[in-house]
Amino acid sequence: MSTQLRRAVTSSYLGSVIEYYDFLLYGTASAVVFNKVFFANLDPLLATVASFGTFATGYLARPIGGILFGHFGDLLGRKRMLVLSMTLMGVASFLIGVLPTYAQVGGLAPVGLVVLRLVQGIAVGGEWGGSVLMSAEHATSRRGLWAGFTNAGAPSGMVLSTAVLTGTSAAVGEQAFLDWGWRIPFLLSILLLAVGLFVRVKVEETPAFKAMTAPPQRRLPVVQVLRSHPKKLLLGIGVGFAAFVAQSTLTTFVISYAVQAGHTRQAVLNVLTISSAGAVFGILAFAAMSDRFGRRPIVLVGTVAMAVWSFFLFPMIDARSAALLLLSLFVGQAVLHAMMYGPLAALYSEMFRTENRYTGASLAYQIGGLGAGIAPVLFAQLQRAGGGTLAISCTVAAFCLLAAGCVLALKETNKQDLIPVAA
């Protein structure tokens, strides 16, 4: 493993951890805090829907970030955009930590929350594509494993954000946590930003980008992707959408659902931390397996298995057993979702050419990522309409089966060369 590859993988992993710490911290807080702090004037169930709505706003902004950062990343290089995306995320998260509540400034509070969530979404929309390419384009072998470290950063960020929220809540008490304690994890973002930037600035531009024999074409990279690779883009979106629906179901939505089902909030957060920690290793294991067996077989088995597991998930939670709660989330997140998600970093990198790879990979991933923002809002509305968990399970299964069809329509890419070729 070369020095630059080691730096690239470390930078990509830490950057992903920091980005997703900030991004998913918001998701956890939207389930347990923001409905009380920023939407206190609404009916409790409607406040939860509104809180998840602001959570979804960040996912809606992610494709915008993918287009913006992808454009300049394809024209100017990967490294510059990664420094900018990390800075934006850290500053936005810090500002959420000092945002006034509804009780203090009324309607301006949720407006400010939405604006900062939009900035978060744009930042993480630009971060993922650059981080993946930084590892994938430096790697000469085992690309799935090295690129997979970026995806492993997502559950690592979940572990960190949940642990910090849990520790803060335990340290200051329930009432103090709702009054001011929830701000501490957001304020810590500024320290993580300093560490991340220190590592990131030492990484060189990727060999694949530097090896381009001619400057990128004047045509917008996003136009190149839409004209040259529309089928690949749509199939990639279909695969990613299901993975994100499953991710959001197993993390954000389950927090509020399990508490409603009778589990304590602390117990749910503890289980989520354990399953997320397991997901780090699951993602890396299945990403490495995709180097040997191919991206398609691993993702296909994961999507079909997740479709089936979705019908077991909620009955296991409803049993009010701590052991069954742990089993339901650990299998779902650390095994099945890891199979769906682990190989995606390499898969998306291998689908596009160097001159539009940042844009193409980012668009496929971030538009697919809308599934994570839409799912909690949709499921909360189904609950509010009396649809029950069967309707939710059917929805998850339907998206998984759609993803399975998209996987079958894609060509295997694990032998794809990332060296620039003529357009």
Q: Which residue has the higher pLDDT, 255 or 235?
A: 235
Would you say residue 386 has pLDDT above 50? yes
* Res. 50 pLDDT band, cuts 50 70 90: low
> For the chain, what percent of residues have pLDDT higher than 90?
36
Would you say residue 406 has pLDDT above 70? yes
Report d(CA 270, CA 166) in Å as an integer. Answer: 8
Give the max Cα distance, the chain: 61
What's the rounded mean pLDDT across residues 318-339?
Answer: 95
Superfamily name and number for 3-197+220-409: MFS general substrate transporter like domains (1.20.1250.20)
Q: Which residue has the higher pLDDT, 339 or 97?
A: 339
What's the rounded mean pLDDT across residues 209-232?
Answer: 77
Q: Which residue has the higher pLDDT, 106 or 13?
A: 13
Quick: pLDDT tens for 58-112: 778 888 998 899 888 888 888 888 888 888 888 988 998 888 877 788 778 778 8
Report d(CA 374, CA 391) in Å as an integer. Answer: 15
pTM of the model: 0.84
- Enter the tokens of residue 222: 């996003």
In terms of Cα–Cα distance, which of 232, 221, 212 is closest to 351?
232
Q: Which residue has the higher pLDDT, 26 or 128?
A: 128
Report d(CA 275, CA 309) in Å as an integer. Answer: 15
User: What is the residue extent of each domain of the chain?
Assistant: 3-197+220-409
Angle at 121 between CA 119 and CA 124, to 5 degrees: 110
Query: How many other CB atoms are found less than 10 A from the CB of residue 139?
Result: 24
pLDDT (0 to 100) of residue 203 = 84
Quick: pLDDT tens for 291-307: 999 999 999 999 999 99
In terms of Cα–Cα distance, which of 330, 350, 246, 348 is closest to 280?
330
Q: Which residue has the higher pLDDT, 415 or 50?
A: 415
Would you say residue 290 has pLDDT above 70? yes
